[in-house]
């Protein structure tokens, strides 16, 4: 996979893209990445990439031309161009799985008060990592890249881990425990020491359901609805 970040602040990416699982994936050749700066495609000496909004108002707006030229410099056949902004569709685990199958991913980082509306034709989709506003799209782009790269075959030492983590089945992950067996008078559940694989899996399934009901009950309604609608004879 190839990931290109279209950003005004390319210096932000190396520390994250060169570390942990993403960094190992890059060293192993599973992912290549780079940054392209719209300022390099500005038409004036000051490398201007923004302007005041027509109609007045606070802030500045990213100009369409530098952005289009920056994207065009790295776009190839089969590329998926994603714009990161608070107005986009929510980024979810299913989105990460879908994007992990793309050969060339271009993540465009928004800034200021947004982009010239005419530039939106450049994007295949618009994503948001939450209902809040950040200084720019760099952090959301890194979130997307991290979530996508870890799903690439070979990125994780144990690839089956992605099949059992939170959201893989629609539920949160089950609680995890490690040494010591008792800590501050709190013991690890006995079911995890029984040696019966089936019993352990049943405990984990029940614990995952309980954790989801307690922490994210909003996830249960669509899950229950989808399972009910799939029953034969309905």
DSSP tag of 158: S
> Are residues 76 and 190 part of one domain?
no
| Rounded-to-integer distance, Cα 202 and Cα 199, Å | 5
Q: For 9-38, what is each residue's pLDDT tens digit?
A: 999 999 999 999 999 999 999 999 999 999
| Parent domain of 180 | 165-229
> Are residues 211 and 125 part of one domain?
no
> Are residues 114 and 63 part of one domain?
yes
| Rounded-to-integer distance, Cα 84 and Cα 138, Å | 8
Residue-averaged pLDDT of the chain? 92
pLDDT score of 170 more than 90: no
| Rounded-to-integer distance, Cα 145 and Cα 167, Å | 18
> Are residues 170 and 107 part of one domain?
no
> Are residues 132 and 86 part of one domain?
yes
Residue 135 domain-assigned?
yes
What tokens were used for 188? 């690890």
> Are residues 122 and 224 part of one domain?
no
Residue 108 half-sphere exposure toward CB, CA atoms < 13 A:
32
Q: For 123-168, what is each residue's pLDDT tens digit?
A: 999 999 999 999 999 999 999 999 999 999 999 986 666 666 667 7
Residue 94 domain-assigned?
yes
| Rounded-to-integer distance, Cα 190 and Cα 196, Å | 11
Q: What is the Cα 55 distance to its own chain's centre?
A: 35
Angle at which helices 20-27 and 138-149 cross, to 10°: 60
> Are residues 170 and 136 part of one domain?
no
Q: For 55-70, what is each residue's pLDDT tens digit?
A: 999 899 999 999 999 9
pTM for the whole thing? 0.87
Domain boundary among 149, 177, 211: 149
Percent over 90 (pLDDT), the chain? 85
Torsion of CA 53, 57, 60, 65, to 10 degrees: -10
> Are residues 97 and 33 part of one domain?
yes
- Sign of CA pseudo-dihedral 28, 32, 152, 210: positive
Residue 75 domain-assigned?
yes
pLDDT score of 226 more than 70: no
> Are residues 32 and 106 part of one domain?
yes
In 3D space, the residue among 18, 197, 168 whose CA is nearest the CA of residue 94 turns out to be 168
CATH (domain of 24): 3.40.1280.10
Q: What is the pLDDT of residue 233?
A: 46
Q: What is the pLDDT of residue 221?
A: 75
Residue 12 domain-assigned?
yes
In 3D space, the residue among 144, 117, 112 whose CA is nearest the CA of residue 128 turns out to be 144
Contact between 165 and 175 under an 8 Å Cβ cutoff? The reply is no
> Are residues 127 and 51 part of one domain?
yes
Residue 121 domain-assigned?
yes
Based on the structure, what is the number of domains in the chain?
2
Domain boundary among 120, 149, 178: 149
Residue 155 domain-assigned?
no
Q: What is the pLDDT of residue 228?
A: 46
CATH (domain of 204): 1.10.1270.20
Residue 188 domain-assigned?
yes
Q: For 72-98, what is each residue's pLDDT tens digit?
A: 999 999 999 999 999 999 999 999 999
Residue 91 domain-assigned?
yes
> Are residues 187 and 145 part of one domain?
no
The DSSP element (H or E) to which 222 belongs, if any, is helix 220-229
């Amino acid at each position: 996979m190839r990931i290109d970040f279209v950003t005004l602040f390319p210096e932000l990416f190396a520390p994250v893209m060169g570390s942990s699982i993403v960094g190992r994936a890059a060293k192993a050749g599973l992912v290549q990445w780079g940054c392209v700066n719209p300022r390099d495609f500005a038409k004036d000496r000051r490398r201007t990439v923004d302007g005041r909004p027509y109609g007045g108002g606070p802030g500045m707006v990213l100009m369409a031309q530098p952005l289009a030229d920056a994207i065009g410099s790295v776009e190839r056949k089969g590329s998926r161009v994603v714009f990161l902004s608070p107005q986009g569709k929510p980024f979810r685990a299913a989105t990460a799985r879908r994007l992990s199958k793309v050969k060339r991913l271009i993540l465009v980082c928004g800034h200021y008060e947004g982009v010239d509306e005419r530039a939106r034709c450049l994007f295949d989709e618009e994503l948001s990592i939450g209902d809040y506003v950040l200084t720019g799209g760099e952090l959301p782009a890194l979130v997307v890249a991290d979530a996508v790269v870890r799903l690439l075959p070979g990125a994780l030492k144990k690839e089956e881990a992605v099949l059992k983590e939170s959201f893989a089945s629609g539920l949160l992950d089950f609680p995890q425990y490690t040494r010591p067996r008792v800590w501050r008078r709190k013991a690890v559940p006995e079911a995890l020491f029984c040696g019966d694989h089936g019993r352990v899996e049943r405990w984990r399934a029940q614990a995952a359901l309980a954790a989801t009901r307690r922490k994210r009950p909003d996830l249960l309604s669509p899950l229950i609805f989808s399972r009910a609608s799939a029953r034969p004879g309905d």
